[in-house]
Amino acid sequence: MRAGHTVPPVGTSSQAAPIRARLGGEDELLRFEELELLPSDYQVRVHGVRVPLTMREFETLLALAERPGRVVMRPEIYGRVWGGEMPRRDRSVDVFVRKVRLKLAVASPEWRYIHTHFGIGYRFTAERVPDGGSK
Amino acid sequence: MRAGHTVPPVGTSSQAAPIRARLGGEDELLRFEELELLPSDYQVRVHGVRVPLTMREFETLLALAERPGRVVMRPEIYGRVWGGEMPRRDRSVDVFVRKVRLKLAVASPEWRYIHTHFGIGYRFTAERVPDGGSK
DNA sequence: TCGGCCGTAAACATCTCGTTCACATCTGGA
DNA sequence: TCCAGATGTGAACGAGATGTTTACGGCCGA
Q: Would you say residue B46 has pLDDT above 90? A: yes
Give the model's confidence band at B28: pLDDT under 50 very low, under 70 low, under 90 confident, else very high: confident
By three-state DSSP, how is residue B91 classified? Answer: coil
The rounded mean pLDDT for chain B is: 83
Contact list, B54 vs chain A (CB under 8 Å): 118-119
Q: How far apart are CA A6 and CA B26, in angstroms?
A: 10
User: Is residue B66 within 8 Å of B5, Cβ to Cβ?
Assistant: yes
Q: Would you say residue B87 has pLDDT above 90? A: yes
Q: How far apart are CA A100 and CA A58, in angstroms?
A: 8
pLDDT of B130 reads 79
pLDDT of A130 reads 77
For chain D, which bases have at least one atom within 7 A of a protein Cβ? 6-11, 17-22
Greatest mean pLDDT among A16-25, A38-47, B96-105 lies in B96-105
Query: Are the Cβ atoms of B55 and A10 closer than 8 angstroms?
Result: no
Query: Are the Cβ atoms of A71 and B36 closer than 8 angstroms?
Result: no
**Residues paired with B27 in a beta bridge:** B23
Per-residue pLDDT, averaged over A54-65, amounts to: 97
Nearest CA in chain B to A5: B24
Per-residue pLDDT, averaged over A79-85, amounts to: 95
Q: How far is CA B20 from CA A17, B7, B50, B116, in A?
A: 21, 10, 19, 26
User: Is residue B96 within 8 Å of B57, Cβ to Cβ?
Assistant: yes
pLDDT of A106 reads 95
Buried b (16+ CB within 10 A) or exposed e, A8-30: bbbebeebeebeeeeeeeeeebb
pLDDT of A113 reads 98
Q: Say which of B38, B42, B45 has its CB closest to residue A117.
A: B42
- Whole-prediction pTM: 0.83
Q: How far apart are CA B94 and CA B80, in angstroms?
A: 14
Residues sharing a CB contact under 8 Å with residue A89, sequence separation 6 or more, in sequence order = none
Per-residue pLDDT, averaged over A55-66, amounts to: 97
Q: Would you say residue A83 has pLDDT above 90? A: yes
Distance from CA of A48 to the nearest CA of B (A): 31
Distance from CA of B120 to the nearest CA of A (A): 31
Q: How far is CA A41 from CA A26, A44, A48, A53, B17, in A?
A: 10, 9, 15, 12, 47
Chain A 16-75 residues in 7 Å CB range of strand C: 52, 54-57
pLDDT digit string, tens, across residues A40-53 = 889 999 999 999 99
Statement: the CB of A116 is under 7 Å from strand C: no
User: Is residue B122 within 8 Å of B77, Cβ to Cβ?
Assistant: yes
Distance from CA of B35 to the nearest CA of A (A): 12
